[in-house]
Amino acid sequence: MKKEVTVLRIGHRLVRDDRVTTHAALVSRAFGASRIYMTGIDQSVKDTVNAIDKRWGGHFEVEIIQDWKSVARAWKKSGGKIAHLTMYGINIDDTVEKLYKEQKLLVIIGAEKVPREAYELADYNIAVGNQPHSEIAALAIFLDRIFEGKQFKRDIAGGQLRIVPSEKGKQVEKI
């Protein structure tokens, strides 16, 4: 059975977070998630990611939402589990074995202070280190652990461009 991983990013600090928000979506996409729900953003992030899908292939969804709690509750009601990435949680190394068994995961990351309810809704509050750090770095490490690095070997269909691995230089091929 294929693992379904979706990301939920809570919050967006206007102006300051434009690039960070886009990067959260790009890391989600590149590291194997199938969708990201985002609050507080405009259409431009969705348009940027859609353009990348068109050029590079794949089908990643950006869904702009108003109420993150209803998304999280619906996820749980559908049988999925929630993993909240926080520096206050249990170390990822101590939870990763349990997480491998989950087939449907919603990963919550915050842009600003995460409401207490996120901690309570989560089945797993997971720390990627217990020091202040970027939610994007935590997300990348989490997704890499969950997919065991296999997400980088998948074939992504439907793009116009493909990178040709090269020890030196940049090689991009039109498909």
The reported pLDDT for the residue numbered 13 is 60
**Exposure of 123 by Cβ count < 10 A (0-12 exposed, 13-18 middle, 19+ buried)?**
middle
Please tell me the pTM assigned to this model. Answer: 0.89
Average pLDDT over residues 30-57: 92
Q: What is the pLDDT of residue 64?
A: 94
Predicted pLDDT at 21: 86
**Run of H or E residues at 118:** helix 116-121
pLDDT of residue 157: 84
Indicate if the alpha-carbon torsion angle 75, 80, 81, 82 is positive or negative: negative
pLDDT, position 53? 92
Beta carbons within 8 Å of 139's beta carbon, 6+ residues apart: 7, 24, 27, 28, 31, 85, 107, 109
pLDDT averaged over every residue in the chain: 90
Indicate if the pLDDT at residue 129 is higher than 90. Answer: no
Compute the distance between CA of residue 158 and CA of residue 99 in angstroms, rounded to an integer. 30
Q: Is the model's pLDDT at 63 over the cut of 70?
A: yes
102-to-26, 67, 97, 105, 154 alpha-carbon distances in Å: 23, 25, 10, 7, 20
Q: Which residue has the higher pLDDT, 111 or 149?
A: 149
Q: What is the rounded average pLDDT of the residues 105-121?
A: 91
Q: Which domains does the chain show, CATH number per domain?
A: 4-174 (3.40.1280.10)
Give the burial class of 61: count Cβ atoms within 10 A of its Cβ; 0-12 exposed, 13-18 middle, 19 or more buried: middle
User: Given pLDDT bands bounded at 50, 70 and 90, which one contains residue 37?
Assistant: very high
